[in-house]
């Protein structure tokens, strides 16, 4: 379901250069233009032919009354490419296809009256319920923007659905919807809400309960739980066997303020209540449940002020809890160019997910986009894509 309906406007920096990518919908171009482009770039011509063939095959399948949706093979963490299967064959999701998907999914249009398409439903993930993403959520993946909590929740749902031992037996990624709403209702980590005059109760958030997998929440030895407060994301690692918690923060090695310490205590209480609600044992008993300790792990993190969510989402895929030694986690941090690229990756992984009932549309719309400028420009954090850069059919 939709966790929030507030309007989203991507952040921009007035001092950052903007590029006009010269992107067009292939249906808008004449045959002579296509031939010229093909002569200039044989690789582009080959890709276009493959994409056109894919669209034709999907359309042909639909006309024959087949209701089977194209199936995307599950990706493993860290892959830069993947495949999806249609009734007629197996196709590679190339980097160009991902970039086209990113462009289509994150661009906002404005009409003559100043209205935008930010509330357009773009993705419906089917799991325990229907989790809907609108265009404004995907638009938060634009360069230098703070990523919306719905994107992080979608990634949690997709990871939990992966047919891998890591997520089926070891690690459960807890969608952040309830904890984010709880922190909104209990500002500064107050245990008694100034709004309701009541303490936190899971039952107070019935809209989000269906997206919690109670079995995995109580059976898996580790819970990875993203948290966002005041625009910053960090990740809780909960060892359900030892009843111990640790925090991985992309920006901080210790709690930066006393307020954060209070928030962490409240957050630990929320997680303990969620586990108990699902049928498990609380992390602590009695009043100690409000004093759950959560030491910070020293780990190399973000280099910017806006990539915390990217790190949290990727850490859910790659962090091995048993490798945390003496409060430290050693790993090779990514170069900034790779961090920027993950925004492109997540757009395609969400929209092309086999859980997305609107995936066929994402494939068709992405295939229709032509890249007439070097695709490497798309990965630059300075690249801003506006509605004027793409003409719709």
| Residue 302, number of CB atoms within 10 A of its CB | 21
In this prediction, residue 1 carries a pLDDT of: 42
Shortest CA distance to 299 belongs to which of 270, 267, 271, 326? 326
Q: Which long-range contacts (C-beta less than 8 Å, at least 24 apart) are formed by 250-255?
A: 250/301, 250/302, 250/307, 250/308, 250/311, 250/312, 251/301, 251/302, 251/308, 252/296, 253/296, 253/298, 254/296, 255/296
Domain extent, residue 336, equals 95-391
| Residue 11 forms part of a structural domain | no
Measured between alpha carbons, how far is 111 from 26 in angstroms, rounded to an integer?
21
More confident residue, 24 or 19: 24
pLDDT digits (tens, 9 = 90+) for 46-104: 555 555 555 455 444 444 443 333 332 333 333 334 555 544 345 567 888 999 999 99
Distances (CA, A) of 125 to 104, 204, 211, 322, 358: 18, 23, 11, 31, 9
Strands 171-173 and 222-229, sheet pairing: parallel
- The residue whose two tokens read 């918690």 is 245
In this prediction, residue 94 carries a pLDDT of: 85
In this prediction, residue 389 carries a pLDDT of: 47
Phi, psi of 43 (to 5 degrees): -65, -40
Which CATH number covers residue 292?
A: 3.40.395.10
Distances (CA, A) of 314 to 79, 147, 320: 11, 13, 12
Please report which confidence band the pLDDT of residue 201 belongs to, taking 50, 70 and 90 as the band edges.
very high
Domain count for the chain: 1
| Residue 371 forms part of a structural domain | yes
More confident residue, 43 or 160: 160
| Residue 73 forms part of a structural domain | no
pTM to 2 decimal places? 0.75
DSSP sequence for 259-298: HHHHHHHHHHHHHHHHHHHTT---SS-GGGGGS---PBPB
In this prediction, residue 387 carries a pLDDT of: 42
In this prediction, residue 31 carries a pLDDT of: 38
State mean pLDDT over 262-291: 97
Shortest CA distance to 229 belongs to which of 202, 267, 270? 267
What percent of the chain is modeled with pLDDT above 70?
71
Residue 265 has pLDDT above 70, yes or no: yes
Kindly state the DSSP code that residue 166 receives in the 8-state scheme: I
In this prediction, residue 78 carries a pLDDT of: 37
Residue 18 has pLDDT above 90, yes or no: no
289 in Cβ contact with 282 (< 8 Å): yes
In this prediction, residue 8 carries a pLDDT of: 35
Residue 229 has pLDDT above 60, yes or no: yes
In this prediction, residue 378 carries a pLDDT of: 53
| Residue 26 forms part of a structural domain | no
| Residue 80 forms part of a structural domain | no
Q: Which of 308-317, 360-369, 373-382 has the lowest mean pLDDT?
A: 373-382
Measured between alpha carbons, how far is 173 from 155 in angstroms, rounded to an integer?
9
Measured between alpha carbons, how far is 311 from 305 in angstroms, rounded to an integer?
12
Measured between alpha carbons, how far is 269 from 65 in angstroms, rounded to an integer?
52
Please report which confidence band the pLDDT of residue 218 belongs to, taking 50, 70 and 90 as the band edges.
very high
| Residue 30 forms part of a structural domain | no
Distances (CA, A) of 7 to 115, 117, 153, 309: 12, 11, 18, 19
| Residue 54 forms part of a structural domain | no
| DSSP H helices in the chain | 31-40, 42-63, 95-106, 135-139, 149-160, 165, 177-185, 214-219, 258-277, 308-318, 336-351, 359-367
In this prediction, residue 57 carries a pLDDT of: 52
| Residue 366 forms part of a structural domain | yes
Quick one: CA torsion of 360, 362, 363, 366, rounded to 10 degrees? 160
């Amino acid at each position: 379901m939709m966790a929030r309906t507030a309007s989203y406007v991507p952040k921009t920096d007035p001092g950052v250069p903007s590029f006009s990518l010269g992107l067009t919908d292939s249906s808008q171009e004449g045959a002579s233009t296509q031939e010229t482009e093909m002569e200039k770039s044989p690789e582009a011509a080959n890709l276009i032919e493959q994409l056109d063939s894919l669209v034709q095959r999907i359309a042909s399948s639909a006309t024959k009354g087949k209701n089977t949706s194209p199936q995307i093979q599950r990706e493993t963490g860290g892959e830069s490419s993947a495949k999806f299967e249609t009734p007629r064959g197996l196709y590679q999701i190339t980097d160009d296809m991902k970039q086209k998907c990113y462009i289509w999914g994150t661009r906002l249009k404005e009409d003559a009256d100043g209205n935008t398409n930010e509330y357009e439903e773009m993705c419906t993930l089917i799991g325990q319920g229907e989790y809907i993403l609108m265009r404004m959520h995907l638009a938060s993946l634009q360069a230098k923007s703070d990523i919306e909590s719905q994107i992080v929740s979608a990634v949690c749902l997709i990871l939990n659905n992966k047919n891998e031992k890591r997520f089926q037996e070891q690690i459960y990624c807890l969608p952040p919807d309830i904890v984010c709403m709880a922190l909104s209702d209990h500002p500064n980590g107050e245990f008694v809400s100034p709004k309701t005059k009541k303490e936190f109760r899971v039952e107070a958030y019935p809209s989000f309960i269906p997206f919690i997998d109670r079995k995995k929440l109580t059976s898996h030895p580790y819970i990875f739980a993203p948290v966002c407060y005041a625009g910053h994301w960090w990740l809780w690692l909960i060892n359900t066997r030892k009843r111990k918690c640790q925090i991985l923060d992309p920006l901080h090695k210790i709690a930066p303020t006393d307020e954060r310490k209070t928030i962490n205590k409240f957050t630990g209480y929320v997680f303990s209540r969620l586990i108990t609600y699902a049928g498990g044992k609380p992390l602590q008993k009695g009043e100690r449940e409000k004093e759950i300790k959560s030491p910070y792990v020293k780990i190399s993190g973000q280099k910017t002020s806006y990539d915390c969510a990217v790190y949290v989402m990727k850490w859910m895929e790659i962090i091995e809890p048993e490798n945390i030694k003496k409060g430290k986690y050693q790993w090779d941090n990514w170069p900034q160019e790779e961090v920027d690229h993950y925004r492109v990756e997540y757009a395609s992984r969400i929209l092309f997910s086999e859980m997305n009932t609107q995936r066929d549309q994402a494939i068709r719309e992405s295939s229709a986009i032509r890249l007439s400028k070097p695709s490497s420009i798309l990965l630059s954090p300075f690249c801003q894509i506006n509605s004027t850069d793409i003409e719709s059919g």
